C-alpha cells in the first residue's frame, strides 16, 4: 500500500475542508470540541446537511444512494470531519442495518428504508443484547410467534432488549428474535425491523456512570410486526447478525475521532503546569504519547485495508475484530492519558454546568471539565460490539486457525 496521498486525493481533502468550513454549523462544532451534550437535533441537522451535499452515506455504493467513494476518500472524509468538530454520523442506520438490507433485504425494503436512512428522516437503534445474552448472543430469548391472519400475516413479539443506545429517539429498531427452538440456538433466530411507535413497546432509561441517558432497556409486550418486516429468510437471522457485526466493528475503530483526541492530548501536554513546566517535557509521559500515536498509525493503515476489501464487494471478515480490539483500546488509552495530564482538574463532572450560560455566554468550560465523563463513557468500548475477549477468540479461530 502506498501511504502517500496522490494529488487527486489531496485535492479531495481540500474539497472536504471547504465544505466543512461553509456548512458545518458553528454551534454543533463548538459542542463537539467542548465535550458538551449533543441532542437529537444536532445529529439530524448534520445528517440532513450531508444529504443535501450528496455525502449522506459515504460508505454506501452509488446504486443505493451512496457516494461510492473508495477507501481513501472515506478515510479522508472521516478524518477531516473529526478534526473540524463534526458529530459522528450515527452508525445504527447507515453502517449497521443498511448493509444488511442491501445484502439480504428485498427490493421493497430497500426502496422504502434506505432513502429514509440516508436523508436523516428515520433514526434507527439496535435490539441485540438481552439480560443474560450479551457476548453469548445466540442464547437470546425474545420470542416472535408467527400468526396467520386474513388481514395479513404478522409476528407477535414478546421479550426484552437491553444496552440499547439512544432508543429514546428512535423511529425504528432492528431486532434479533427467536422464531424457533429446534436445533442449534443459532438456527432459530430471525431478523426483524420494528416500528418503535407500535403499541406494546416501552423504553426505560439506564443512566450511566457519566450521568447521561445514552442507553436503555426496551420491553416488548404483544407487539404486532408485519411479516413483510422480516429481512431475508425466517430462522436465518444469525447469518445476517454476523454480517452486521462485521460492519459495526469496523466502525468502532474510530480512527478520525482518535486522531482528534490525540491532537487535544498534545495541546494539553504542551500547556504549562502549576510549576511552569509543560508535561510534554516529561520523558515518561512523552513516551506514552508516542506509544499511542504509533499504535494509532498502525490502526489507520489496517482500517484502510479493511475498507478497501469492503469496496471490492467483500463483507468485513475476521480482520474487523482486530480493528475493534485496537480501536477500543486506543480510545481508552487516550482518555486515561488526558485524565493523567490534567490531574485533579479533570475530576469535576457536572453535566449541567457544561450546558449552562451566563447572559448568553457559555460557562461550562470554566466550571467543569468533561474528561472524567468521557473516561467513564469509554470504559464500555471494549465491551460493546462483542467484548474484546470474544474478538480474540474469533482471531484465534478464523485467522490463526487455532
pLDDT the model gives residue 388: 86
Is residue 28 located within the same domain as residue 72? yes
Instruction: Yes or no: say if 83 and 256 are a contact pair by the CB < 8 Å rule.
Output: yes
Three-state SS at 250: helix
Where do the DSSP E strands lie in 60-208? 124-127, 143-147, 154-165, 172-178, 189-195, 201-206
- Statement to judge: residues 271 and 219 lie in one domain: no
Query: 78 and 153: one domain?
Result: no
Q: How many domains does the chain have?
A: 3
CATH of the domain at 213: 2.40.110.10
- Mean pLDDT on 199-212: 91
- Domain co-membership, 282 together with 312: yes
Are residues 59 and 95 in contact, defined by beta-carbon separation less than 8 angstroms?
Answer: yes
Comparing CA positions, the residue from 119, 126, 120 lying closest to residue 40 is 120
Say whether both 394 and 326 belong to one domain. yes
Per-residue pLDDT at 230: 98
For the segment 168-174, the average pLDDT, to the nearest whole number, is: 98
Quick check: is 94 in a domain? no
Do residue 271 and residue 389 come from a single domain? yes
**Domain termination site, one of 65, 89, 113:** 89
Q: Are residues 273 and 303 in the same domain?
A: yes
Q: Is residue 242 part of a domain?
A: no
pLDDT for 353 equals 66
CA atoms of 55 and 77, how far apart (whole Å): 10
Would 104 be classed as within a structural domain? no
pLDDT digits (tens, 9 = 90+) for 102-159: 999 999 999 999 999 999 999 999 999 999 898 788 999 999 999 998 888 999 999 9
270 vs 25: CA distance, rounded Å: 29
- 53-89 pLDDT, tens digit per residue, is 999 999 899 999 999 998 889 889 999 999 999 999 9
Same-domain status, 379 and 277: yes
> CA 389, CA 395: separation in Å to the nearest integer?
10
Domain hosting 204: range is 124-235
Judge if 294 and 366 occupy the same domain: yes
Amino acid at each position: 500500500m502506498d501511504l502517500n496521498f496522490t494529488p487527486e486525493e489531496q485535492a479531495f481533502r481540500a474539497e472536504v475542508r471547504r465544505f466543512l468550513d461553509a456548512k458545518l454549523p458553528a454551534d454543533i462544532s463548538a459542542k463537539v470540541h467542548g465535550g458538551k451534550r449533543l441532542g437529537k437535533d444536532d445529529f439530524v441537522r448534520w445528517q440532513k446537511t450531508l444529504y443535501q451535499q450528496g455525502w449522506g452515506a459515504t460508505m454506501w455504493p452509488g446504486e443505493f444512494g451512496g457516494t461510492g467513494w473508495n477507501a481513501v476518500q472515506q478515510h479522508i472524509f472521516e478524518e477531516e470531519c473529526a478534526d473540524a468538530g463534526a458529530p459522528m454520523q450515527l452508525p445504527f442506520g447507515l453502517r449497521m442495518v443498511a448493509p444488511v438490507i442491501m445484502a439480504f433485504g428485498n427490493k421493497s425494503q430497500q426502496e422504502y428504508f434506505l432513502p429514509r436512512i440516508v436523508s436523516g428522516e428515520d433514526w434507527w437503534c439496535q435490539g441485540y443484547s438481552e439480560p443474560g445474552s450479551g457476548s453469548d448472543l445466540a442464547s437470546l430469548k425474545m420470542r416472535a410467534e408467527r400468526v396467520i391472519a386474513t388481514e395479513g400475516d404478522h409476528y407477535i413479539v414478546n421479550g426484552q432488549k437491553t444496552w440499547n443506545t439512544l432508543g429514546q429517539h428512535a423511529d425504528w429498531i432492528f431486532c434479533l428474535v427467536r422464531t424457533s427452538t429446534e436445533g442449534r440456538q443459532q438456527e432459530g433466530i430471525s431478523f426483524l425491523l420494528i416500528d418503535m411507535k407500535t403499541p406494546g413497546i416501552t423504553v426505560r432509561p439506564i443512566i450511566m456512570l457519566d450521568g447521561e441517558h445514552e442507553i436503555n432497556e426496551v420491553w416488548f409486550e404483544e407487539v404486532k410486526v408485519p411479516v413483510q418486516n422480516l429481512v431475508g429468510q425466517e430462522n436465518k437471522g444469525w447469518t445476517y447478525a454476523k454480517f452486521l457485526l462485521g460492519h459495526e466493528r469496523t466502525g468502532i475503530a474510530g480512527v478520525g475521532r482518535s486522531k482528534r483526541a490525540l491532537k487535544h492530548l498534545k495541546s494539553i501536554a504542551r500547556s504549562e503546569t502549576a510549576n511552569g513546566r509543560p508535561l510534554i517535557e516529561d520523558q515518561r509521559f512523552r513516551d506514552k504519547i508516542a506509544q499511542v500515536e504509533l499504535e494509532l498509525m498502525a490502526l489507520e493503515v489496517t482500517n484502510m485495508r479493511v475498507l478497501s476489501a469492503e469496496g471490492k464487494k467483500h463483507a468485513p471478515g475476521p480482520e474487523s475484530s482486530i480493528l475493534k480490539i485496537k480501536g477500543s483500546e486506543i480510545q481508552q488509552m487516550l482518555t486515561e492519558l488526558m485524565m493523567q495530564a490534567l490531574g485533579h482538574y479533570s475530576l469535576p463532572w457536572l453535566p449541567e454546568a457544561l450546558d449552562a450560560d451566563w447572559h448568553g455566554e457559555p460557562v461550562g468550560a470554566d466550571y467543569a471539565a468533561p474528561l472524567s465523563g468521557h473516561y467513564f463513557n469509554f470504559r464500555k468500548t471494549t465491551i460493546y460490539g462483542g467484548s474484546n475477549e470474544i474478538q480474540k477468540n474469533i482471531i484465534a479461530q478464523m485467522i490463526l486457525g487455532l
